[in-house]
């Protein structure tokens, strides 16, 4: 009993000598915790307490509202279209960038990062300028009765745009670190391109992909600014969950508003947990075998 305690004490003193003195460490930790408490935990608690203010019954009733269900459905559809598309694109882009050299590679990396640096509102005004009735493609779209802005396709487009970099950005450093040795070995041993990709590359980046998908999905479901411009705010049709939260709040329907907010908060928590688990796998460097 006493022996491990001693070792432990010895180790922590050893650590403190090469890091900061104890009061500084305590101060830093306390500051970080207070900050987290004020800006993350308290608001989160407030969301849930407001949502359940009038009891579980009212909370569930709020979630069963047709407009709420429609917003959940739209949010799920949007994520279900945007995430797989970005998955395919992200893997392709990362593969091209990490495993090959070609002219314009840096330009491609910059373009992938663009949605991070452009305000979502501006990117969406561009969609309105392109696809809106007064826009470049407006007359063509109207003549063929294709609706893009102020309809579901516009919302999906906007979401794809803002979630575009997540998977590619996650995979590029991972694939660059892994290098091309394994792929080259596979090719030398007679595998063709597709075989190399599915048998060698993909298993190596599996956890990175799932990690990217989780982040991409969280953003796709939670995006507000980007979809706000192109939504048109039609009840039960083009309101995603984040948009409906704002609308209900403005209608003094606080319980309903916070009920949906609580769903989004739960999504965030699930994302966080999944992310932590995955990070463990990624840090170990050894992907878990699943067979």
| Binding site residues, another protein, CB under 8 A | 77, 80-81, 84, 87, 128, 131-135, 138, 142, 145, 147, 149-150, 152, 198, 202-203, 206, 232-237, 247, 250-252, 290-291
Closest approach of another protein to the CB of residue 80, in Å: 5
Element (H, E) at 87: helix 66-99
Tell me how far apart the alpha carbons of residues 137 and 161 are, in angstroms, rounded to a whole number: 18
Widest CA span of the chain, in angstroms? 83
Per-residue tokens: 205: 């980046």
Closest approach of another protein to the CB of residue 163, in Å: 15
- Residue number with CB closer to another protein (108 or 236): 236
- Residue number with CB closer to another protein (17 or 289): 289
Closest approach of another protein to the CB of residue 232, in Å: 4
- Residue 194: CB atoms within 10 A of its CB come to 8
Burial bucket for residue 285 (CB in 10 Å: 0-12, 13-18, 19+): exposed
Closest approach of another protein to the CB of residue 216, in Å: 13
Per-residue tokens: 6: 């001693």
Closest approach of another protein to the CB of residue 183, in Å: 15
Closest approach of another protein to the CB of residue 275, in Å: 19
Radius of gyration of the chain (CA): 24
Closest approach of another protein to the CB of residue 131, in Å: 8
CA dihedral 4, 8, 11, 17 (to 10 degrees): -150
- Residue number with CB closer to another protein (109 or 138): 138
- Residue number with CB closer to another protein (162 or 205): 205
DSSP 8-state class, residue 139 = H
DSSP 8-state class, residue 192 = -
The number of residues in the chain equals 291
155 close to 223: Cβ distance less than 8 angstroms: no
Tell me how far apart the alpha carbons of residues 102 and 59 are, in angstroms, rounded to a whole number: 55
- Residue number with CB closer to another protein (108 or 152): 152
Per-residue tokens: 127: 């969609």
- Residue number with CB closer to another protein (93 or 156): 156
Per-residue tokens: 107: 């330009």
- Residue number with CB closer to another protein (108 or 197): 197
């Amino acid at each position: 009993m006493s022996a491990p305690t001693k070792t432990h004490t010895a180790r922590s003193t050893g650590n403190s000598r090469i890091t900061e003195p104890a009061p500084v460490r305590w101060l830093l930790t306390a500051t970080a915790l207070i900050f987290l408490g004020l800006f993350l935990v308290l608001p989160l608690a407030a969301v849930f307490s407001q949502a359940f203010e009038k009891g579980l019954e009212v909370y569930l009733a709020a979630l069963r509202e047709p407009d709420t269900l429609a917003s959940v459905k739209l949010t799920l559809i949007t994520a279900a279209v945007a995430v797989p598309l970005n998955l395919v694109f992200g893997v392709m882009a990362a593969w091209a960038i990490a495993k090959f050299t070609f002219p314009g590679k840096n330009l491609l990396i910059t373009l992938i990062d663009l949605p991070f640096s452009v305000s979502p509102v501006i990117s969406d005004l561009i969609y309105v300028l392109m696809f809106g009735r007064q826009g470049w493609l407006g007359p063509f779209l109207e003549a063929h009765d294709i609706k893009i802005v102020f309809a579901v396709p516009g919302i999906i487009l906007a979401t794809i745009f803002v979630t575009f970099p997540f998977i590619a950005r996650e995979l590029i450093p991972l694939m660059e670190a892994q290098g091309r040795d394994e792929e080259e070995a596979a090719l030398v041993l007679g595998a063709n391109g597709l075989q190399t990709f599915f048998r060698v590359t993909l298993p190596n980046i599996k956890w990175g992909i799932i990690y990217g998908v989780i982040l991409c999905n969280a953003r796709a479901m939670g995006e507000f600014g980007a979809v706000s411009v192109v939504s048109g705010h039609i009840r039960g049709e083009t309101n995603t969950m984040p948009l409906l939260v704002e609308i209900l709040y403005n209608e003094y329907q606080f319980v309903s508003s916070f009920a949906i907010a609580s769903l989004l908060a739960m999504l965030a928590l699930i994302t966080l947990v999944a992310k932590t688990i995955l990070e463990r796998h990624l840090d170990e460097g050894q992907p878990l075998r699943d067979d």
